[in-house]
Amino acid sequence: MRDLRMGRLKYSLLHLGLLPLTVLILVFFGYMFLSLRSQELGNPGDVTRKAYPQPRVLKPTRRDVLVLTPWLAPIIWEGTFNIDILNEEFRLRNTTIGLTVFAIKKYVVFLKLFLETAEQHFMVGHKVIYYVFTDRPADVPQVALGAGRQLVVLTVRNYTRWQDVSMHRMEMISRFSEQRFLHEVDYLVCGDVDMKFSDHVGVEILSSLFGTLHPGFYGSSREAFTYERRPQSQAYIPLHEGDFYYMGAFFGGSVLEVHRLTKACHEAMVEDQANGIEAVWHDESHLNKYLLHHKPTKVLSPEYMWDQQLLGWPSIMKKLRYVAVPKNHQAIRN
């Protein structure tokens, strides 16, 4: 009986000795796992530790422009955001951005400058996939891409009229969003190819759904907007309605929201075609109708869509980020 008690005592002491050792091993491996995980994902505390100027409630950074819509969506101007904070946030999310561009027929000549300037200014430091829609895949230029950036060529047919090329863009983006983009990127930005990036365009633009103020109408009343005014069209907007006039050359958002937008616009254009009517500004007219009834969660200022040749450089524009390339429209379109 005594031997049995001694055996139990030795076993208990052995057990008590092993317990702290086991705890230490678990703590050590747990710490190693979390350290490795932190290195992979980044330390969530980095954002709060990064030094940046304190926001001042009584000292707005811009007093000369509207910075918030009536539905509380921010309007993005230089001086309204801190790109260091935003870059950190989006890197922690491991965000991938898709940029769609259509280089159909003669418009392929603009692709090299578009891609080269995008590499300098568009989403620098983030993962990007360029989706180039073209009927001339052999003419897509070779452009050196940075780490984490890639180019995908998607072959599509061309159309006789440039208006048809423009309108079928909505159909193509809608189709590929469902088939491909949803599985490859987090956000989709849709731009025109006859443009160039001339300054920073980064994650400050990203939101569920964004539109860009037209450079010719950002200071105009709604009555002056070139909305579709014929009630027979699905793009019809009455004179007494409208928030802003958005440019069809730069819009985007989450892939799901861009899919909804492009699908709705395409279906509206198909219905117009069946009724023998074509909206005055084609896909842009339908984009404006959609954004009137589905408010964007961010609005980009004309810094993100400008034509310096036509409009100069007014003092209100602190930066010109995405600008038109001078061209002969008639020669290119025909």
Rounded Cα–Cα distance for residues 286 and 272 (Å): 10
Q: Do the beta carbons of residue 117 and residue 207 sit within 8 Å?
A: no
> Ramachandran region of residue 209, left (φ > 0), alpha (ψ -120 to 50) or beta?
beta
Letter string b/e over residues 132-151, b meaning 16 or more CB atoms within 10 A of that residue's CB: bbbbbeeebeebeeeeebeb
Per the annotation, the verdict on 89 as an active-site residue is no
Rounded Cα–Cα distance for residues 282 and 300 (Å): 21
Rounded Cα–Cα distance for residues 287 and 49 (Å): 41
Measured in degrees and rounded to the nearest 5, phi and psi for residue 120 equal -80, -30
- For residue 24, the cross-strand partners are none
Q: What secondary structure does DSSP assign to 104-122, as a single string?
A: -GGGGGGHHHHHHHHHHHB
User: Can you tell me which residue has the tokens 């009536």?
Assistant: 70
Rounded Cα–Cα distance for residues 321 and 197 (Å): 6
User: Which residue from 212, 232, 210 is spatially nearest to 280, judged by alpha carbons?
Assistant: 232
Residue from 88, 228, 257, 284 carrying the catalytic annotation: 284
Active centre residues (catalytic): 284
